[in-house]
């Protein structure tokens, strides 16, 4: 995969935390930590977009009363089966 270099300015406090993660071995380098952060926020945004699309779909076509009742019953059954 081709890569490109970017410049990022960080507040000293955040850079200190980043360096502590590298020093403790959580990340191999500053660049690896920044890559992991960018990957995490882009993955989160993809999930949020999916969530918003699902909500929009339910707003366009709300569940029927029977579908709602079935989902509540299913949820109750799932909770009852938990080994709490």
In a domain, 38, yes or no: yes
pTM of the model: 0.71
Tens digits of residue pLDDT in 16-59: 999 999 999 999 999 999 999 999 999 999 999 999 999 999 99
Domain membership flag for residue 4:
no
Structural domain count, the chain: 1
Q: Tell me if 50 is assigned to some domain.
A: yes
Q: What is residue 84's predicted lDDT score, i.e. its pLDDT?
A: 82
* 54: in domain: yes
The answer to whether residue 76 is domain-embedded is yes
Q: For the chain, first and last CA: distance in Å?
A: 46
Burial of 30 (0-12, 13-18, 19+ CB in 10 A): middle
Confidence at residue 18, expressed as pLDDT on a 0 to 100 scale: 97
- Give a yes or no: residue 35 inside a domain: yes
What residues make up the domain containing 72?
Answer: 12-80
């Amino acid at each position: 995969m081709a890569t490109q270099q970017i410049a990022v300015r960080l507040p000293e406090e955040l850079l200190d935390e980043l360096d502590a993660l590298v020093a403790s071995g959580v990340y191999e380098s500053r660049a690896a930590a920044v890559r992991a952060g960018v990957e995490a926020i882009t993955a989160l945004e993809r999930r949020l977009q999916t969530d918003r699309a699902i909500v929009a779909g339910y707003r366009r076509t709300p569940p029927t009363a029977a579908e709602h009742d079935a989902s509540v019953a299913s949820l109750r059954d799932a909770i009852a089966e938990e080994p709490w």
